């Protein structure tokens, strides 16, 4: 899936990911390829993304945000 983290001013991160774990308000949310569409409020915590082709894992700390999954694209609008 295409995974992007955006702030108000800039694109902070973009990659192809196999799995992304988000810090949802009610607990962690695991998102994988072709997940059902959703809109989710995020709380402060770490976003953990497993990158395709064995490139490892990326971690991004956010203070607040919103995640949207649609059409195999996960977009996170975040304050860092």
Residue-wise pLDDT tens digits, 10-20: 999 999 999 99
What domains can you pick out in the chain, each with its CATH number?
Answer: 2-68 (2.60.15.10)
C-alpha separations of 30 from 8, 17, 36, 48, 74 in Å: 24, 12, 12, 9, 11
pLDDT of residue 2: 96
pLDDT of residue 52: 83
pLDDT digits (tens, 9 = 90+) for 25-62: 999 999 999 999 999 999 999 999 999 876 789 999 99
Contact of 23 with 42, CB cutoff 8 Å: yes
Antiparallel, parallel or unpaired: β 57-62 and 27-32: unpaired
């Amino acid at each position: 899936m295409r995974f992007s983290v955006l702030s108000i001013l800039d694109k902070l991160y973009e990659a192809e990911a196999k799995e992304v774990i988000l810090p949802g308000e009610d607990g962690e949310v695991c998102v994988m390829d072709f997940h059902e569409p959703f809109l989710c409020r995020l709380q402060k915590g770490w976003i953990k993304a497993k990158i395709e082709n064995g490139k490892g894992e990326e971690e991004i700390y956010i203070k607040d945000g919103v995640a949207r999954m649609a059409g195999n694209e996960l977009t996170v609008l975040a304050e860092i």
